[in-house]
A and B are shown apart, each in its own frame.
Chain A
Amino acid sequence: MRMSLTKTCWFAALSIALLALAFVLLGSGLDTDYVIPKRLVRLASIVIGGICVAVSAIVFQVLVNNRILTPSIMGYEAVYLLWQAMLLLLLGTHGLSMLGVHGNFLVSVLLMLTYSWALQWWLLRRGRNDVYVLLLLGLVLTMVIGTFTQFVQLRISPGEFAVFQGVSYTSFNRAKPQTLLYAAIAVAVACAVVRKTLAVLDVLALGREQAISLGVPHGRYLQLYLALIAILVALSTSLVGPTAFMGIFVANIVYALVPHARHRVMLPLGCVVAIAIFLAAQLLVEHVFNYKTTVSILVNLVCGVYFLALIVRKRGAA
């Protein structure tokens, strides 16, 4: 079954509207004082998280010309987890409450941005805009930071460890309305920049050399997009926690749905797909599993199976 582009988009928009409606209203008893406002906050954090994950993953895959990498290879999430573990080690569970959700959010975002700027500054100083050097450095740092985090985990008490596990899963219950507002503004700005440069993104997908030959200053746009990705990933990680493979799933589902499309279509569709997956997972967690499982586990399970099926089916067709 092949759907036309507009049909696919309409279908996606409709299904996401239905999912959102179900999410807000299902079993709420139309309680507008507590249940529905709470759910709207979660819906907002799902929408912002979804947009961040989808846009950062698809843009990142253009920059590295590879469809199985996500920005998490650069170590942003590792920095976040190390910071959370250090907080617990140094200040205990009080530390988290002392900073408050708000403070923790801001500090986490700032730390991840500092990390990303340090990486880019190092790259710029070497005078080479080689993506592979950056990837290699990111991968090594991810592992080093991960090892540090594991070491810290060994030092904290079982109770603190449980708290740590809580922050290392994707969850939409953490964000407060005010934090969401700041995040929404930042995401809107980042998306506006991407929107303005959609045609450049298409040219970058042709590879570095072809892009320069077509008059795109590759190094400058690499810096710009890496900075945007850092902002998006920092926001989504601080808001909803690490999302691990989600970016790969979203990007590849989009490539499978509209194999023959420009970024003008791919990016919005990616956002819709990401939001739909998050919504479906959260619905299941709330109503079917009664919070006995987490969004991360469901997302990885469902998307993993779908992804595997996609590869097997493509192999069979080829």
Chain B
Amino acid sequence: MGVNHLSKQYGGRTVLSDVSVEFPAQRVTSLIGPNGAGKSTLLMLMARLLEPSSGAIQWQERDVSRIPVAEYARHVATLRQAPGFNMRLTVEELVAFGRFPHSRGALTVQDRRAMDEAIAFLSLESLRHAFIDEISGGQRQMAFLAMTIAQQTDVLLLDEPLNNLDMRHAVQIMRALRRLCDEQGRTVILVIHDINFAVNYSDHIVALKNGALRFHGTAQDVVTETRMADLYELDFEITRNHRGCFCNYFTFREDHS
């Protein structure tokens, strides 16, 4: 999946200008950058929730705007922050909606199996019959993720899946995404603010700033102190050890000169 000279304007304001980037298949890619960089806009364009002002999005060498929405939903699933709605649903019923692109509402045996797999994948069995308005925010996010997984698409697009989650739930979600990629060969593309999660859990990083592409490449290569400092305008100190990579930007370095 990739984008070609993609631009988006709201009124006269440009939020994304001439972005061209390729997202490697069967890898976890994080979109990073400061607020207002255009990360979510790029993701929404790829999800077809927004129309590009110019440029195109490719999926398997096809122009996405020529693929019917119903077909696209069998290949690319999107999760924004858990939306509010008026229906009273259980976790299982929510997950069942993930099968809509395949069965248009009438569940088949195959659909049931996909639902069971998705629920088991996130260890949500105990919450299966709980109402989603009665469980915690972290559990709700997991339930929505289960719906997206049950959609059984090659590509998953996630917009800030860790928003408002505690550390344990955040780690749970990131581990699940990693496993989706490693065990099932799915392509995961997510917008994420926590740079440490991005570095430790993704293969590929795409950095945006002010609506333009700053740099992209493997997480190992592109996450350096100078690049991060330039991207976020903060003082970064990056240490690597056997448990992974840690970016410290919380405090400023004391000047010993």
- Measured between alpha carbons, how far is A260 from B78 in the docked complex, in Å? 25
A-B contact count (CB 8 A): 75
- Measured between alpha carbons, how far is A199 from B74 in the docked complex, in Å? 17
Using an 8 Å CB-CB cutoff, how does the interface string of B49-61 with A read, 1 for contact, 0 for none?
Answer: 1000000000000
Contact A214 B100 (CB under 8 A): yes
Judge whether B7 is part of the interface by a CB distance below 8 angstroms: no
Q: Which residue of B lies closest to A205 (CB)?
A: B87
Write out the residue numbers on chain B whose beta carbons fall within 8 Å of the beta carbon of A210: 80, 83, 85, 97
- How many Å from the CB of A13 to the closest CB on chain B? 24
A205, A213, A216, A259: the one contacting B78 at CB < 8 Å is: A213
- Measured between alpha carbons, how far is A209 from B45 in the docked complex, in Å? 12
Contact B151 A206 (CB under 8 A): no
B73, B84, B87, B105: the one contacting A213 at CB < 8 Å is: B73
B69, B86, B151: the one contacting A212 at CB < 8 Å is: B69
Contact A212 B85 (CB under 8 A): no
- How many Å from the CB of A128 to the closest CB on chain B? 9
Contact B70 A217 (CB under 8 A): yes
Contact A209-B100, Cβ < 8 Å, known A198-B105, A199-B105, A202-B105:
no
Contact B88 A199 (CB under 8 A): no
Write out the residue numbers on chain B whose beta carbons fall within 8 Å of the beta carbon of A208: 49
Contact B78 A215 (CB under 8 A): no
Q: Which residue of A lies closest to B80 (CB)?
A: A209
- Measured between alpha carbons, how far is A44 from B97 in the docked complex, in Å? 38
Q: Which residue of B lies closest to A212 (CB)?
A: B49
- Measured between alpha carbons, how far is A217 from B100 in the docked complex, in Å? 13
Write out the residue numbers on chain B whose beta carbons fall within 8 Å of the beta carbon of A215: 69-74, 100-101
Q: Which residue of B lies closest to A127 (CB)?
A: B51
Contact A209 B49 (CB under 8 A): yes
Write out the residue numbers on chain A whose beta carbons fall within 8 Å of the beta carbon of B97: 202-203, 206, 210, 214
Pairs A-B, 9 closest by C-beta atoms: A199-B105, A215-B73, A213-B78, A215-B101, A215-B70, A217-B69, A207-B83, A214-B100, A260-B88
